[in-house]
Amino acid sequence: MNLMQDQNLSSTQVIQLTKTMLSVASIDGIAPAEAALIGQFYESARSADMPATAALMATTDTRQFDAFEWAGCSEALADTVVLMCLMTAYADGSLSAAELAYVRSIATQLNMDTAYFDALLEQVRNELIGALSHLPDAGSVAAVVKELGAAQTVSGCVSN
């Protein structure tokens, strides 16, 4: 499974995904790293007919995920939504139990199998470890790996 598949998202889908990512980040307060990731995603996919990045990021509409907006989406698009939500949750350096539960609920509403979700979660975790592995400070990398492992352990305790 590829971590991210190329998607041709419509303007509406980009806005919906950005708002979904914002709702994940707002679970425990939007951290600067989460805001940067969301802003970078939106700006890279934004077309001229869409709201400005700053305007969308400043919205107070961080309502909960609305499965109706994603009804009938493809499995590849569901994968993208869940992966972007997981990356958003991890962007501040940790995946809280509340963030994990929320992203799991999104996956469930998108009809994603629990085992498949767990595989995506593991893949995101492994990608993060891989991105850190080139750092010269092995002690810091080991601490992050330990923290990611603890978050993985927490995931087994969260109900689906």
Residue 42 lies inside a defined structural domain of this protein: yes
Residue 2 lies inside a defined structural domain of this protein: no
CA distance 105 to 135: 34
CA angle, residues 149, 145, 30, in degrees to nearest 5: 80
Q: What is the pLDDT of residues 75-84, one digit of tens each?
A: 999 999 999 9
Q: In this predicted structure, what is the pLDDT of residue 66?
A: 81
Close Cβ partners of 70 (under 8 Å, ≥ 6 residues apart) = 16, 77, 78, 81, 109, 110
Tell me how far the alpha carbon of residue 142 is from its chain's centroid: 23
Q: In this predicted structure, what is the pLDDT of residue 79?
A: 94
Using the CB atoms, write b or e for 59-68: b if 16+ within 10 Å: eeeeeebeee
Residue 74 lies inside a defined structural domain of this protein: yes
Q: In this predicted structure, what is the pLDDT of residue 147?
A: 55
Residue 123 lies inside a defined structural domain of this protein: yes
Rg of the chain (C-alpha set): 15
CA distance 140 to 64: 35
Residue 62 lies inside a defined structural domain of this protein: yes
Q: What is the pLDDT of residues 8-59, one digit of tens each?
A: 899 999 999 999 999 999 998 899 999 999 999 999 999 999 999 998 888 7
Higher confidence at residue 135 or residue 90?
A: 90
Beta strands in 29-145 (DSSP E): none
Q: How many domains does the chain have?
A: 1
Which domain does 74 fall in, by range?
A: 11-155
Residue 5 lies inside a defined structural domain of this protein: no
Q: Tokens representing 109? A: 């509403």
Residue 139 lies inside a defined structural domain of this protein: yes
Contact 75, 2 (CB under 8 A): no
User: For the chain, first and last CA: distance in Å?
Assistant: 22
Q: In this predicted structure, what is the pLDDT of residue 152?
A: 46
142: CATH? 1.10.3680.10
Q: What is the pLDDT of residues 105-157, one digit of tens each?
A: 999 999 999 999 999 999 998 887 666 555 555 555 455 555 555 544 444 44
Q: In this predicted structure, what is the pLDDT of residue 83?
A: 94
Residue 3 lies inside a defined structural domain of this protein: no
